[in-house]
A and B are shown apart, each in its own frame.
Chain A
Amino acid sequence: DQQVKQNSPSLSVQEGRISILNCDYTNSMFDYFLWYKKYPAEGPTFLISISSIKDKNEDGRFTVFLNKSAKHLSLHIVPSQPGDSAVYFCAASALTNNNDMRFGAGTRLTVKP
């Protein structure tokens, strides 16, 4: 039951350009969304989040956009840096059941110098 989907297993961009990572969800009860970054041999690190009452949240080079009607969110990284190369996971939860956070399968981002 894949309620959170990241359909692109990998993405490669040039340093300085924009990276756009996409995520789709099926459960309309989800109302809180998070992005995590994971380097090899480390646990996921929280990056940015957004609640369903917003459609955009920005933190430095990272911006998350939420389109509730399309059940779609995206993470924009501008400008991309080689240190951003990692696996990015999208996650979603419902405040009414906030102990269960569902993750996508991840997208491996490679930023080339």
Chain B
Amino acid sequence: DAKTTQPPSMDCAEGRAANLPCNHSTISGNEYVYWYRQIHSQGPQYIIHGLKNNETNEMASLIITEDRKSSTLILPHATLRDTAVYYCIVRGALKTSYDKVIFGPGTSLSVIP
């Protein structure tokens, strides 16, 4: 079973911020929160990851609650090209933990003109 829960779908108006929530109440102290997205007919694409501090890069911002049991991915100005399935994943810091990575069904984000 996936270690995260996400809403199955969300809509967002073009140009507005898209806030995608993720619950990971069983996250352990050394596990990171990762976000990927998958545009139709393409492979997943890494977006961002974090441990406990908020993170920002050119694609998105990641807000992690103080108890680390949930997080929110923020796309500040959503465009039609951001329409995709967004996956929230928890995994350890070591690359060897990739064998324990479980992708859930994700959130299907639709950006509406």
Bound pair (A, B): no
Chain B residues in contact with chain A, CB under 8 A?
none
Chain A residues in contact with chain B, CB under 8 A?
none
